[in-house]
Amino acid sequence: MLRSAILGAAALALTAPAFAANFVFETAQPVTEKHVIAESVVWTCEGTTCVGDLDRKKASVRICKKIAKEVGVVTALRNDNSELTAEELEACKASAKS
């Protein structure tokens, strides 16, 4: 019986959805596409703001750089738990699409 419970819990853990947090990024210029793929996420964009569910707990410069390669200068990246600082955003700008 204990073995069945352990196997059931393991199966549930493997099939449970991954942690995903709602992220928002903003850009210096309006994004021309309605949907952008960056960091393996489809972001929905309107003007200079894009929203997407990312399998990360907090914002990072690495994520920002991957987004910037697709859309240009990122002026903000945040979720409910974290937000990039001005210094981190400055580090992200080097990767921005021209």
Per-residue model confidence as pLDDT tens digits over 40-88: 899 999 999 999 998 889 999 999 999 999 999 999 999 999 999 999 9
pLDDT at 19: 58
pLDDT at 87: 96
Average pLDDT, the chain: 84
What is the spatial distance between Cα 65 and Cα 67, in angstroms, rounded to a whole number? 5
Higher pLDDT, 60 or 4: 60
The alpha-carbon radius of gyration of the chain (Å, integer) is 17
Residue 88 sits at φ, ψ, to 5 deg, of: -65, -40
DSSP state of 26: E
The percent of residues in the chain predicted with pLDDT above 70, rounded, is 80
pTM, whole model, 2 decimals? 0.77
CA distances from 39 to 14, 23, 43, 58 (A): 23, 12, 10, 14
